[in-house]
Amino acid sequence: MPPKISTAQRRLIKEFQELTKHPTDGIVAGPVSENNMFEWQCLLEGPPDTIYENGVFEASLKFPSDYPLSPPVLKFKSEILHPNIFKDGTVCISILHPPGDDPLQYESADERWGPLQSIEKILLSICSMLAEPNPNSPADVDAAKLWREDRPKFERIVREQVLKTLKL
């Protein structure tokens, strides 16, 4: 008898099939192995007309066992300087915050995670975040300060990181 598939696994399988059938430009994502649908590897192309353009950034997505009720965690493996990415690579963006009201009242409940979100929406939101940082709600205070106070230096560092992603 085959093992019982959880609701989360069924949802992840369905989303993977959808991403495979209808790929999104600049985004590749899928499970690390067919035996574990809860860990994914992603490649995100830096958005055009930004300092991240031409970069290919590797990230991991880890899904909780109660997905889609709770959001996954996205963490960049590639080095990437950005106000909304913690120094360890973990992304801080509203769509990945737990559902419900924000205890700090910074974001509305409809900006936060909800079970109707999808992996594709998450990854598109990350690409939008790269293009338009929110330095007023930084995960990396040093990056936000550099972005505000010394944009040329910030851009030089990011361009160097982009070249590293290309192994140049």
Q: What is the CATH number of the domain that holds 124?
A: 3.10.110.10
Contact 93, 125 (CB under 8 A): yes
Within a domain: 20: yes
Active site residue 92: yes
Within a domain: 133: yes
Within a domain: 67: yes
Within a domain: 42: yes
Report the side by side order of strands in the sheet with 56-62. Answer: 27-33, 36-45, 56-62, 73-76
Mean residue pLDDT across the chain: 90
**pLDDT tens-digit map of 69-100:** 999 999 999 999 999 999 999 999 888 877 76
Catalytic residue among 61, 92, 96, 127: 92
Distance separating alpha carbons of residues 30 and 39, to the nearest angstrom: 8
Mean pLDDT for the stretch of residues 41-50: 96
Within a domain: 2: no
CA dist list (Å): 122 to 8, 91, 96, 113, 164: 16, 11, 8, 10, 24
Give me the number of domains the chain comprises.
1
Here the tokens at position 28 are 């590749």
Within a domain: 1: no
The range of the structural domain enclosing residue 38 comes to 7-166
Contact 127, 26 (CB under 8 A): yes
Here the tokens at position 50 are 């930004």
pLDDT at 48 over 90: yes
- DSSP characters over 6-67: PHHHHHHHHHHHHHHHS--TTEEEEEEETTEEEEEEEEEEPPTTSTTTT-EEEEEEE--TTT
